[in-house]
Each structure stands twice: as C-alpha cells, then as structure tokens.
A and B are shown apart, each in its own frame.
Chain A
C-alpha cells in the first residue's frame, strides 16, 4: 500500500510538517481588542487578545477560548507558573507549546509558530493562528463580523493495487454528497466546510487521475468541492465515514502508473477568490525519520528548477538550491535526527531558496520530485563515490498563499514493544510460603453487588450475573465435596452500602485470608466503551496465581467465546489474597455475541462447570501435602 498526502493542514499535518513558516492565510488584526466570532451557530466572545510581531495572540484563560476548546472537543492542560501549554485536540493530537519557545510540537512533528508564546501577568498567550490551525479552523472576516470556519484540513491518498482511497479529514464531521458524476468525473460537496487547499493535484494512482479542490459559498456557509477525475474504466464507491474521516474510494482497472512527478496540466478555473497563480513558494519542510534514514519533504507551490551539490567526506554537507523561489516565512536552523545532524533553510539570494543538510558521514542521498515538491532521502549507510551534483525541475499547482501539501507518512506503529503479556516476561515479587489452614475451602467472589452494580448493558447488571455464576459454581463444588465460602450470596455490598472501593475489595480479600482458603476465584463480566472487544480473560497478580489461572483458562477455552488468555495486572483482590487466586472476566457485556452468552443460563452453567473442572485439575496437579484433591 502506498500512502501519501496530496493536501493537508491543521492538526493532522502534525504528522508530517516541519513548517518553515506559519501559513499565510491572513488573520484580521486583533491586537488588544475583543471580538465576537461565530462558530457552528454560536457566538463566542474573545476578550483576552493581544498580538506579537503583528500576529494575533489569545490568552489561555479567555472564557471565549475555553468555550471554543469545549465546542471542538479539545482539552487544555496548563496552570499558572507552568512553562508548557498543552492542547489535546479531538483527533486526538497533543499540541505542545512552551513559553518563550517559538517551536511547538504536534505529535512527532516540530513546527514554528508565528511567535513564541508569552506570559502576561499569570496568563499564557498563544499564537492564535497556530492554535486555530491545530483545531482545523480558520478565522475569517465576514463584513464587520468574524467567523470561525471549519476547514477541510487534509486529503490523503491511499493506494492499494488498483484501488485508491482519498481520506478526507477536517474540523467538523464531514458528510460529503455527490453533486456530479458523469464522464469519468465525480464531484463531492462538503457543505459547511472551507479549505485553504484549493488547486489541482495530479495523482495518477489506481483509478484516480487528478483531484481538484475548490471553494464556493459564503464565509458563513462555505462549501468545498472535491472533483475527482477517474482513469478510464474506474468506478467510484459511495463515501464511507471512518471515525472522523471520510473515505472516497475508487477502483481502477489498470495497473497503477508511477505515482509522482508528472507535470500538472493547466488547471481549471478555480472559483474561489483565494485561488490564483503566484510566485513559486517554498512553504514547508518535513523530516520523517525511518529505520533506513530520514526523508526530508520540501513543499513547493509552483514550478521551479533545482540543483543539488554535496561536498566530499569529511565535509559532509549537502544542499539543494531551488531557483526562482521565495521562502515563505523566516529561515530555519534546526538539529536533525541521524543520519543528519542539522537542517538549514534560508533565502540564499533574492531568487533562490537553499535547503542545506549536514550529514553524519558519507551517506547515500537521493533527490526526487514528489507530488508536492521535492523529497530528499538520506540513507543510514555510508557510500563511496556518491554523485556530487544533480538537478531537475518540479511542478505543482496550488493557490497563492495556501499551504502546500506535504508528503505524509505517519510514524510507524511498532508491533514488538515491551509490555506484551507473554508470561515469560512477567516479573513478580517473591513467591509466598502460604499454606492454607483450610485446604478444603474454596472462596468464591461474585464481583460487585449491592450499591455497586458493576457494568450494565441492556438492563443486565454485572453484579447479578456474577452472583448467578458463583452460585452455580458453588453448587458444583459442594457436590464434589469441597467446602465453599462466598464473599456474598445475595445482592449486597460485602463491606457496607456505599463504601469505598478499597473497603469493599479488602472485605472480600479478608473473607479468603481469614478463612485460610485453598483458592480464591473472583468472577466478573467485562465491558468496554465500544462493542469490539470480546472473550474470556483470566487476570493474575502473584506468581502463585499463574499455574492456577493457566489451568482455569484452559478449561474455559472451549466456553464459546474467544480465549484472551492470562493477563498480569495490579488488581486489588488477586494482589492481596494470600492463596492462588484468579479473577475471571467471563465475557463482555458490551459485545453482542458475548452478551447473548452471558444472558444464557446454559452458558453460565457451562462456565461454572469449566471453572470447577479447573479447580479440580489444579488441586490434583498441585496438591497440598497430606490433603486429598477432589
């Protein structure tokens, strides 16, 4: 699969952009004024406004700012005296500002704000434009009024064989509708959403030839039109909503053509007043480390030729001059991850932008045009006799003053990280020398009860299910000759109604510890915020729990739902009981198929039977000296 981004701003740009400059959508002058701005039919009054270096600043204690964050689902972390100001967007992405530091971080990416956040009195002030961009919003003037306009912030291309998906992302829930579909062209309208991403991009991947983005409507009622030109024979699927994104998928019949570097045709007229041709701009530089080195993506708006040069080892400098280009924003001088040591971007003369890299050795470097400008790939391996110079040209079409798309590859998710619950990696304290004073006694703990109903789904309370299963288990064990003590055998709190969770859990632990029981089994039903997870899990905390849990888990593996194995955790009841203990999360009430099992008396009887079988097997395999097993 090939992933790339043909257009992106805002919080999700976080995954790609190391911006050379704040983007140049013009914010109205707001210095030290109060304004009302309309956002989603509500008026928000901003009163803590200031400015720095000609750019607007917003105080974090501004009631309007608080209201805006709440309206967008964002959270602020900041206290007077703290240097860091952190905003968690609804994506979620954490946007990290620090007083006195113009750099701000969005996930793995470092950006440059219009100015360094500053303190006035006890209040922190942030660059408003950068904050709004993080929230996928733009402040627009509508006559004398202001509007906080939701933005279509990104349009990613995902290619998988002949299938191409455009993944649209923005501030508001996106509900595109097809407004035109004929002659291999499909136009989608995103109502209520503006964008700064206008222009035409050549894709030539899978079933998609090109994508044109336009805006229409008014400031208060904007509309973004995305027109996709399909390859011959390609078919468009209906838009599909995924979390906060919308997927526009296209099936092509021809193999994918090369993805990038095809010169754009003459763009169609763009109705937006924002769109026009302009000088070639270098609008952003993104660094993306990988296992093989670093990719440096240079976003270029317009057409340009470039030349690159490198010096011989040990003076491992490399630079690209982009001719006829203007650097949008101030120069950049940053450290860089290996195999780079530094990155510099500057306007080296009135018509040339230079991107200079310092390499940590004689590394392999390639320079290739991309869909959005240039991409420099620096490998981790040293090479001999590397070429010393080269050049070429790039061409893309974007609107003047608009942020240019940048190649995006989010940081890879690494599968093999610590913390996997393979029991070979578990670390425990020392094994206790517990000897049961009543080796014929099993303590059963039906989870929750009384004032604590546990999780409730479809009118079914966990507390009732756990009591039912424990009673069934009790009856089986007694029939097999065991003594059984229940922490509760009716719907009550074990300690006291409305007690603290610790008192309640300790009371259950006390039942087992004071009785000197052989084993402790706590029975629960699991739940999650969505219906996805399902299965049976056995939780343990102590080394002596593991063998018992493994046998119980093996018995439960055939209970009809998924076997989620044994999980070590810091659970109160398994941690503080002195005997081998297991907390069995039998199934998920939040999952429809597990719910059907849990609400079946036959299934609950089956689970009770299997746990009883596990207890029997464990006591046979791990006998207490001079005591019979059942």
Chain B
C-alpha cells in the first residue's frame, strides 16, 4: 500500500513555501532603512548620492501600495535634488512630480510641464534623467522608468535630445 506521508509532506511544503513567499513579499521596511537619492555632479557624468529615510510599510498598506508610495517618494526626492549647497545638475525650477504609477518593474513618473523649461544643451537634460532613473531603479523590484509630462508621453522634450518614449534603464548611461 502506498504511504500517505508523501502527499502530506507535499502539502506541508506548499504551505511553508506559500508562507515564506507571503512573509517576504509583505515584509515591511524596518525603521532605519533608507533610499539612495542620486544626483548628477556638475561634471555632467558622475553621480553622488544622499540617503533619505524610508517609511516602513504601514498597517493596512499593501505591498503594491507601499511600492507605489516608495516610488513616489523616491521620484520626488530625485526631482528635488540635494540641498542647494551641493553642486548638482537640477531639474528646472518648479518641476514637480504629479504622480507615479507602477506596472510590473516599470515606474512611470509624471512630471509637470516645468521640466520642458530646459536651459538647452544636453548637459542638464542628461544629468537630470540619469539621476531620476538611478534613484527610482534603486527600489527593489524596479528596473525601468518611463516619463510622462503632464500626463502625456513625449518622444523627447521640446528642443530636447533624450529619447523619452521608451522606458529608461540604468544601462542607458
């Protein structure tokens, strides 16, 4: 007669695996965890970073909502840039994050039209988006950033140089 132990063992392993998955996927950020907010130095190429606190997942906040909220926070931090006394390439004054959405591993960051007020040249545009992409893709599970402006997808900024109608990755720099 076939032993009943094997099905029981399989069921137990499945329960353990499901529990482990649930635990890991719902793990809240602990106090003291931080996000690296990158900025592009004024040599136009290298990145610096400042670390900011990351809010732990709150009661009633699903893993998906927490990822959304963390991405929003990271994007706002990246667009704000480091304190003014740190020389950095910065988004045009007034540029705001209007919202973010998460689709799989891609975060779409919706920027205000102020971002179109570029100084001209590749320098600022390249440094701004490099910092944004590096910051947001620093969130576990995120590997690409799409950009919209005032809710609309743009191929490039007006008079701009960077291609923006495709998701941007760290490997683009």
Contact of A588 among B58, B81, B123 (CB under 8 A): B123
**Which of the candidate stretches B9-17, B18-26, B35-43 sits at the interface with the other chain?**
B35-43
Compute how far the CA of A108 lies from the CA of B53 in the bound complex, rounded to whole angstroms.
5
> Are the C-beta atoms of A501 and B157 separated by less than 8 Å?
yes
Interface residues of B in 158-173 (CB under 8 A from A): 158-163, 165, 168, 170-173
Among the listed stretches A2-10, A38-46, A99-107, A372-380, which one makes contact with chain B, having 4 or more residues with CB under 8 Å of it?
Answer: A99-107
Q: Is the CB of A411 within 8 A of B50?
A: yes
CB-defined contacts of B159 to chain A, threshold 8 Å = 448, 452, 454, 501
Q: How distant is the Cα of A428 from the Cα of B160 in the complex, in angstroms? A: 22
* Contact of A529 with B122 in the complex, beta carbons under 8 Å: no
Question: Contacts of B49 on A, CB cut-off 8 Å?
Answer: 413-414, 417
Q: Which 6 A-B pairs have the closest CB atoms?
A: A455-B120, A502-B155, A335-B31, A337-B32, A526-B121, A419-B47
- Does A569 contact B173, Cβ atoms closer than 8 Å? yes
Nearest CB of B to A90, in Å: 8
CB contact between A537 and one of B31, B54, B123 (< 8 Å): that residue: B123
Select from chain A the residue with minimum beta-carbon distance to B43: A564
Q: Is B86 in contact with A419, judged by CB distance below 8 angstroms? A: no
> Whole-angstrom distance from the CB of B64 to the nearest CB of chain A?
12
Q: Name the one of B73, B76, B99 contacting A79, with C-beta atoms under 8 angstroms.
A: B99
Please measure, in the bound complex, the distance between the C-alpha atom of A588 and the C-alpha atom of B79, giving whole angstroms. 23
Measured CB to CB, the nearest residue on chain B to A532 is B42
Chain A: interface size category: 35 or more
Q: How far is the CB of B147 from chain A (nearest CB, A)?
A: 11
Complex CA distance for A93 and B50, rounded to whole angstroms: 11
> Which B residues lie within 8 Å of A334 (CB)?
31
Known: A528-B89, A528-B124, A585-B123. A98 touches B55 (CB 8 A): yes
Closest B residue to A415 using CB positions: B48
**A125 interface residue, CB < 8 Å from B?**
no
A100 touches B52 (CB 8 A): no
Which residue of chain A is the closest to B160 with respect to CB atoms? A501
Distance of A375 from chain B, by nearest CB (Å): 19
Is B85 interfacial (CB-CB < 8 Å)? Answer: yes
Within residues 89 to 114 of chain B, which ones have a CB less than 8 A from any CB in chain A?
Answer: 89-90, 92, 94, 96-99
A420 to B131, CA, bound (A): 11
CB distance from B110 to the nearest CB of A (A): 10
Asked if A500 CB lies within 8 Å of chain B CBs, one says yes
Across the interface, do B161 and A572 meet the contact criterion of CB distance under 8 Å? yes
Closest A residue to B138 using CB positions: A418
Contacting A at CB under 8 A, from B130-173, are 130, 134, 154-163, 165, 168, 170-173
Cβ–Cβ < 8 Å partners of A569 in chain B = 122, 126, 130, 161-162, 172-173
* A12→B82 CA distance, assembly (Å): 12
Stretch of A145-153, A203-211, A242-250, A601-609 that contacts chain B: A242-250
Task: Judge whether A585 and B83 touch: CB under 8 Å.
Answer: no
The answer to whether A570 touches B163 (Cβ under 8 A) is yes
Which residue of A83, A244, A426, A526 is within 8 Å of B122 (Cβ)? A526
In contact, A567 and B45 (Cβ under 8 angstroms):
yes
Provide the residues of chain B in CB contact with A571, threshold 8 Å. 122, 126, 161-163
How many Å lie between the Cα of A462 and that of B119 in the bound state?
Answer: 12
Which one of A82, A107, A537, A589 contacts B72 once the chains associate, using CB atoms below 8 Å? A82
Q: Contact mask B61-78 → A, CB, 8 Å, 1/0?
A: 100010001001100110
Tell me if A243 and B85 are in contact (CB < 8 A).
yes
Q: Is the CB of A86 within 8 A of B76?
A: yes
A263 and B73 alpha carbons, distance in the complex (Å): 43
Determine the chain A residues whose CB is within 8 A of the CB of B27 once the complex forms: none
How many Å from the CB of A409 to the closest CB on chain B? Answer: 13
**Other-chain residue from A86, A103, A525 in contact with B73 (beta carbon distance below 8 A):** A86
Q: Known contacts A336-B32, A567-B44; decide if A527 and B69 are in contact (CB<8 Å).
A: no
Given contacts A243-B84, A418-B170, contact A533 B45 (CB under 8 A): no
**Contact in complex: A94, B32 (CB < 8 Å):** no
Q: How far is the CA of A524 from the CA of B40 in the complex (A)?
A: 21
Whether B122 and A524, one on each chain, are in contact in the complex, defined by CB atoms closer than 8 angstroms, is: yes
